[in-house]
Structure 1
Amino acid sequence: MKQSELSAPKAAVLGIQHLLAMYSGSVLVPILIGSALHFSSEQMTYLVSIDIFMCGIATALQVFGNKFFGIRLPVVLGCAVQAVAPLIMIGQKFDIQTMYGAIIAAGVFVFLIAGPFAKLRRLFPPLVTGSLITVIGLSLIPVAFQNLGGGNVAAKSFGSGANLIVGMFTVLLILAFNVWGKGFVRSIAILIGLIGGSVLGGLMGMVSFRPVIEASWFHVPTPFYFGVPHFEWSSILTMILISLTSMVESTGVFFALGDVVDRKIESADLKKGYRAEGLAVMLGGIFNTFPYTTFSQNVGLVQLSGIKTRKPVMFSAMFLVLLGLLPKIGALATIIPNPVLGGAMLVMFGMVAVQGIRMLQEVDFHDDKNLLVAAISIGLGLGVTVQPQIVQALPKTLQLLFSSGILLASVSAVGLNLLFNAKTPPAELPESDGLNEQAGAQARKGDKHD
């Protein structure tokens, strides 16, 4: 289907698909942090609904954008999962106000460092970004399998026949509509899988409407809901380090999406993307939610649907804002059974990993140095993801950093590439030349038709 043929109603449906793909992952962050810090039921209700509202605002900053901020790619922003452990630690060691003060300070840091960090794009050739994106996809697959089994590993029902049947039915439904569906139907294969899997799950007693019944009808976002923020240096430093991790991950996602939508990503694009994330993190701290980052799972959705325009994500941003104001409607997305989400995640995360492998095809692996860079980086990233306890002897702050497979793969890929390929000709990664300027102009021209 041609992008120009994508009508508003079809784009809206695709937007719902993007929303459902990221919804559970984003809602999980406030639930984990709020539970660990013993938030009341009323506080949890605020936390979840305002989180969804801010996901919409954060996504809008990136997707709509302007000359100063926003990368204008079909990206969806949600709560940064890597921030969960450090935020719980800050909240328990200090208080909630200190936690939000650290988030605001980290957002200011990201916004201010956007320009210098974007100039480091030469550090991310296909060898590095391909390895990073492959690790992102593969490291997320265990999360998909956890959901596929039922979500809670300790539960007696984990891995039950019912969970596996519902999860695999979702996978097969997505595959069927993706292979045999045509046009618009094919592009919403994930959404059809989520709905079909939920219907089957409902027939098997997996769906409860209690969250919908208990949710209120309307909610008003309130700045500094939990009080005036406190600023404490060690907490701020911790969140800055986590923000740098998110920026590295976002860099990989930006390049992956650029590859999917056939758009050359320049330093100026990265700078605007980082600035938008910085603004989103600051707003998260002000409205007492959490740091926001680009969600990698939606890359697989863009690849699978074949729809490369920003229109669906624009609708997704608007829907997220609406759902954040109407908790009862927003709660509908929470009734999707975990096995159904796991089945959809399996397909999408696998697509992300394959996208990374496709980028690695551009690399000359007849050169053993390139082979070593990719092998060691992917190995380290997946290794620490599977066995995070290997860093348990390190100081707490370092544990938070080096237990991240994505960060470890990034540091390894960038460092080893610089060590082995320091003399790589600049022509391979031009900062700006006539061809790139022409490509950028064409991309900007295409954006106007989004």
Structure 2
Amino acid sequence: MKALRAFPTGMAAIQWVFFIFANTIVVPVSIGAAFDLSAEEVAMTLRSSLIFTGAACVLQGLWGHRYPLMEGHSGLMWGLLLNLSASAAALGMDLQTIGGGIATGMMASAVFMVAAGLLGLSSLIQKVFTPMVMSVYLFLLSAQLIFIFFTGMLKLTPDGTLDVPVSLLSVGIVLLVTILKVKGKGSVSNFSILIGIIVGWIVYDLLFPDDTALSASGQSFSMFPLGTPNLEWGIILTTFIAGVLNLSNTIASIQAAARLYNDKPEETRYNRSFTLTGLYTAAGSFLGLVPYAPFTSTIGFLESTRILDRVPFLIGGGLFSLLGLIPVVGSFFATMPITIGNAVLFVAYLQLFGTALQSLQGTIFNSNTIFRIAMPVLTGISLMAVDPVIFSQLPVYVQPLFSNGLIMGVLLSVALELSVNWERYAASSAYEK
């Protein structure tokens, strides 16, 4: 009987390993390409990411917020780093200079996070990041991540055209995981993400055996691969602001998890999570890792699998760290096709949009109060869709901010919540279709 009970726990833990891995592997590889790192440096950051991410998940689950929420590379900060690297020419800086400014900004924001946690400032921070701001954040985060995963599952040829066979396989995996989730029963539905990754990986290797993959074995660790810390104040300021806004990840994740578990978390759980995330961010800055945060999108994974037990999550996190400590194992997992990982995550993260919709339950909008949600969300999405080069005539200190739709949308929402008394307009007639 014990063996029978252990089997679903073990399977769930393995699914957590794949989910965490699929969310992690893409990040250091894409950052390495964006900052023109060598293959050895990318492999080093990948191994560092495996070790840190697994340990971060376990510590948050045991001592921090204590929910089964993946602690990983923040989508907000990941997008920021990619945005800054793409803006290097417009800013008149080389990639190492931008990377050094990012490292300084990351360390500064890490100090703020740790201080916020140790001083118990979570209640004050939540007054700034109100439920409406969190709703805006969830909508924009889901849009940004879906953009990233959609483009990531479509492979391009060297001449910039679509690699049709690989891209069609990704679309097929999206359909497979969706059907398994919606039509499957019991374990088939719960493990649809794991099934999608395994099937996609096998089919990819059978159809495209000549594709090469990154090896993560045998690499030594080096400090500040993105660039030595410097005092490029524009980059530092932008990174620091994004780092402070990154606290919204923690608030949104814990609040969403509390709703899922019908729970009311104490303030100490927010504060402990702030402290841990700050420590991870500080340590990660030395190794060129994207800053950490609890993944709000994990709620979509939990809703997809319906496996809410914390034990498989803790086991999965521990196993994940071992992938980075054992080079041969990490090297094997590094062969997972990036397009397949993105295709599976595309389906998993569709649930995040549902989480954003649920966060608005009970809120009634009229022709005036609709601006409360529509203006920041649609402004942010609009900024995501435009080419950052259009902001090249602005001062270099604000270019990265204005070209980041997620940051600007959240900042606009905070400004609207602090400056407008929305209750005054809520009594107007109901919003008409």
Q: Under a length normalisation based on structure 2, what TM-score does the superposition of the two structures give?
A: 0.81
Maintained 8 Å contact 2:156/2:162: no
Maintained 8 Å contact 2:13/2:313: yes
Q: Identify if the C-alpha distance between structure 1 residues 154 and 402 changes in structure 2 by more than 3 Å, giving closer, same or farther.
A: farther
Give, in angstroms, the shift of residue 83 of structure 1.
4.5
Instruction: For residue 79 of structure 2, give the secondary structure of its aligned residue in structure 1.
Output: helix
Give, in angstroms, the shift of residue 138 of structure 1.
2.3
Deviation string 1:112-139 (CA, Å, 9 cap, x unpaired) is 1333354231344443322321221123
CA distance in 2, matches of 1:346, 1:116: 35
Q: Identify if the C-alpha distance between structure 1 residues 192 and 71 changes in structure 2 by more than 3 Å, giving closer, same or farther.
A: same
Task: Show the counterpart of 1:394.
Answer: 394
The code of the aligned residue for 2:273 comes to G
CA distance in 2, matches of 1:94, 1:268: 38
The code of the aligned residue for 1:178 comes to K
The code of the aligned residue for 1:373 comes to R
The code of the aligned residue for 1:186 comes to S
Q: Identify if the C-alpha distance between structure 1 residues 296 and 401 changes in structure 2 by more than 3 Å, giving closer, same or farther.
A: farther
The code of the aligned residue for 1:75 comes to L
CA distance in 1, matches of 2:83, 2:387: 15
Match of 2:127 among 118, 122, 125: 122
Maintained 8 Å contact 1:79/1:292: yes
Maintained 8 Å contact 1:11/1:315: no
Match of 1:76 among 63, 70, 73: 70
Q: Identify if the C-alpha distance between structure 1 residues 182 and 283 changes in structure 2 by more than 3 Å, giving closer, same or farther.
A: same
Give, in angstroms, the shift of residue 46 of structure 1.
1.7
Q: Identify if the C-alpha distance between structure 1 residues 207 and 264 changes in structure 2 by more than 3 Å, giving closer, same or farther.
A: farther
CA distance in 1, matches of 2:154, 2:40: 30
Deviation string 1:395-423 (CA, Å, 9 cap, x unpaired) is 33423223332222222223223333366
Task: Show the counterpart of 1:62.
Answer: 60
State the superposition RMSD in angstroms.
3.3
Match of 2:148 among 143, 150, 157: 143
Give, in angstroms, the shift of residue 50 of structure 1.
1.1
Greater alpha carbon shift after TM alignment, 234-243 vs 138-147: 234-243
Matched, 1:167 2:166: no
Greater alpha carbon shift after TM alignment, 398-407 vs 183-192: 398-407
Maintained 8 Å contact 2:139/2:377: yes
Deviation string 1:51-102 (CA, Å, 9 cap, x unpaired) is 211111222232211xxxx111221122230352487568735487775454
Give, in angstroms, the shift of residue 6 of structure 1.
10
The code of the aligned residue for 1:17 comes to Q
Task: Show the counterpart of 1:42.
Answer: 40
Maintained 8 Å contact 1:219/1:324: no
Maintained 8 Å contact 2:15/2:194: yes
CA distance in 1, matches of 2:379, 2:231: 33
Greater alpha carbon shift after TM alignment, 229-238 vs 300-309: 229-238
Maintained 8 Å contact 1:151/1:339: no
Deviation string 1:201-253 (CA, Å, 9 cap, x unpaired) is 22321674654xx543x667x58486997564726544322211322233323
Task: Show the counterpart of 1:256.
Answer: 256
Maintained 8 Å contact 2:52/2:321: yes
% identical aligned pairs: 22
Greater alpha carbon shift after TM alignment, 127-136 vs 261-270: 261-270
The code of the aligned residue for 2:340 comes to V
The code of the aligned residue for 1:194 comes to I
The code of the aligned residue for 2:375 comes to I
CA distance in 1, matches of 2:177, 2:24: 22
Matched, 1:107 2:106: no
The code of the aligned residue for 2:176 comes to L
Q: Identify if the C-alpha distance between structure 1 residues 288 and 171 changes in structure 2 by more than 3 Å, giving closer, same or farther.
A: closer
The aligned runs of 1:234-313 (5 Å cut-off) are: 234=233, 236-287=236-287, 289-313=289-313
Q: Under a length normalisation based on structure 1, what TM-score does the superposition of the two structures give?
A: 0.79
CA distance in 2, matches of 1:233, 1:117: 30
Task: Show the counterpart of 1:204.
Answer: 207
Give, in angstroms, the shift of residue 321 of structure 1.
0.9
Give, in angstroms, the shift of residue 314 of structure 1.
1.3
Greater alpha carbon shift after TM alignment, 80-89 vs 112-121: 80-89
Match of 1:20 among 8, 14, 18: 18
Q: Identify if the C-alpha distance between structure 1 residues 9 and 415 changes in structure 2 by more than 3 Å, giving closer, same or farther.
A: farther
Mark the runs of 5 or more structure 1 residues left unpaired by the alignment.
Answer: 425-450
Maintained 8 Å contact 1:63/1:73: yes
Maintained 8 Å contact 2:216/2:334: no
Instruction: For residue 180 of structure 2, give the secondary structure of its aligned residue in structure 1.
Output: helix
Maintained 8 Å contact 2:43/2:219: no
Instruction: For residue 335 of structure 1, give the secondary structure of its aligned residue in structure 2.
Output: coil
Q: Identify if the C-alpha distance between structure 1 residues 241 and 31 changes in structure 2 by more than 3 Å, giving closer, same or farther.
A: same
CA distance in 2, matches of 1:105, 1:406: 21
Deviation string 1:358-399 (CA, Å, 9 cap, x unpaired) is 22122122x444322111121112111112525443333423
CA distance in 1, matches of 2:269, 2:156: 37
The aligned runs of 1:81-92 (5 Å cut-off) are: 81-85=78-82, 88=85, 92=95
Instruction: For residue 369 of structure 2, give the secondary structure of its aligned residue in structure 1.
Output: helix
Maintained 8 Å contact 1:97/1:230: yes
Matched, 1:133 2:131: no
Maintained 8 Å contact 1:130/1:360: yes
Q: Identify if the C-alpha distance between structure 1 residues 6 and 124 changes in structure 2 by more than 3 Å, giving closer, same or farther.
A: farther
The code of the aligned residue for 1:420 comes to V
Match of 1:186 among 186, 189, 207: 189
Task: Show the counterpart of 2:372.
Answer: 373
CA distance in 2, matches of 1:37, 1:339: 21
Q: Identify if the C-alpha distance between structure 1 residues 229 and 200 changes in structure 2 by more than 3 Å, giving closer, same or farther.
A: closer
